[in-house]
Amino acid sequence: MAGGSDRAAWRGIMVVAQVTEEGFHSATLELLGKARELADRLETEVFAAVIGAGLGNAPAELVGYGADKVYVVEGEEFSSFVGSVFGTALARLVEEVQPEMVIAAATDQNRSFLPYAATLLETGLTANCMELDVDEEERLLLPTRPAYSGNLMATIVCPERRPQMATVKPYSFPLPSHDSSRRGEVVPFDPGPIGAGGVRVVESRPLQREGPDLRKADFIVGIGRGVADEKLIAQAQVLASLTGGAVGATRPVCDMGLLPESAQIGQTGVSISPKMYLALGISGAAPHTVGIQNVDAFVAVNKDESAPVFDMASHCVVGDARVLLPLLVHEVQKIVSK
């Protein structure tokens, strides 16, 4: 089993869908919207690959998000996740369909089996990307990801082998709207027998996160080293609760144990796309800011008027966040109590 170097034989963009208990992972839908945009520029098709058990009619809904064909790999062997099983199934599907590009959300599940599939296909994989583009003339996928601890952004290409593969951090792109008028095809695919390599899933339990899920919050208060104080963080949490928001932080704050790892935003944390991000005492170093995408209002408060965070903020406040935060909490409390 392998990919190919005959570039002309490979066409289309395949999005690997992730199925959750609530339905398709929202990052899958984001990528379908992005794939649709790129495919229109390349004048090619968008495929979706769905692997799972008991899927019913759910795969058909992906047509409304931009897929022209939805390939369904279904069976009891896919009821529990085993990386080698999912990776082999995907590699066999890719070998059959021959898409020139394969993209997936950089979730824990996908990050564990996309490299397995890439190895079987003997092709390259760019992981944890923040942006996707294409070279229309050369039909090259241009995935961009942080490098050197987030101090620069690197675009990595796979010019010879096919497919070109990449995983993208969730919440990097806007969620597309569903178009019920779109027409597409749902195609079952049988990958043949796949051994689990001696792996047997005994029990599966969802991860228990501490605090709200930052990826779903519309308003986030960001805590930087400048306000790394238990009392101030407590006030930030009050502000978040008053507004239905959540509290996030830079890595140093989490490393200090002031907030849990699940609150970490950036290259080694989660990517966020809230409607409003209030950055308090955050300098704006790249390892943090690469995790902030598609924010409607980015408000930064910092005493240093030359802080890098002001370069990307939509609203800049030069001042002491330690002084401003208690005042802001007081004013919001007055508004809420009316």
**Domain layout of the chain by residue ranges:** 10-188, 214-337
51-67 pLDDT, tens per residue? Answer: 998 888 899 999 999 99
What number does CATH give the domain 214-337? 3.40.50.1220
From residue 113, give the alpha-carbon distance in Å to each of 79, 116, 187, 253.
15, 5, 22, 32
Provide the pLDDT for residue 200.
74
Q: How far apart are CA 295 and CA 272, in angstroms?
A: 8
The pLDDT tens digits of the residues spanning 16-49 come to 999 887 788 888 999 999 999 999 999 999 999 9
The pLDDT of residue 2: 65
- The pLDDT of 105-125, averaged and rounded, is 92
What rounded mean pLDDT belongs to the chain? Answer: 89
Rounded CA Rg of the chain: 22
Is 214-337 in the same CATH topology as 10-188?
Answer: yes
**Average pLDDT estimate for 277-282:** 94
Q: What is the pLDDT of residue 209?
A: 61
The confidence score (pLDDT) of residue 162 equals 93
For residue range 166-218, what is the model confidence (pLDDT) as tens digits?
Answer: 999 888 888 899 999 999 999 999 998 887 666 777 777 766 666 667 878 89
* Number of DSSP helices (H) and strands (E) in the chain, helices first: 8, 17
Residue for token pair 């002084």? 323
Determine the angle formed by the axes of helices 108-121 and 83-97, rounding to 10 degrees.
50
Q: What is the pLDDT of residues 128-176, one digit of tens each?
A: 888 999 999 999 999 998 877 666 788 999 998 999 999 998 888 888 9
CB-CB neighbours of 3 under 10 Å: 24
CATH code 3.40.50.620 for 10-188: yes
Res. 273 pLDDT band, cuts 50 70 90: confident
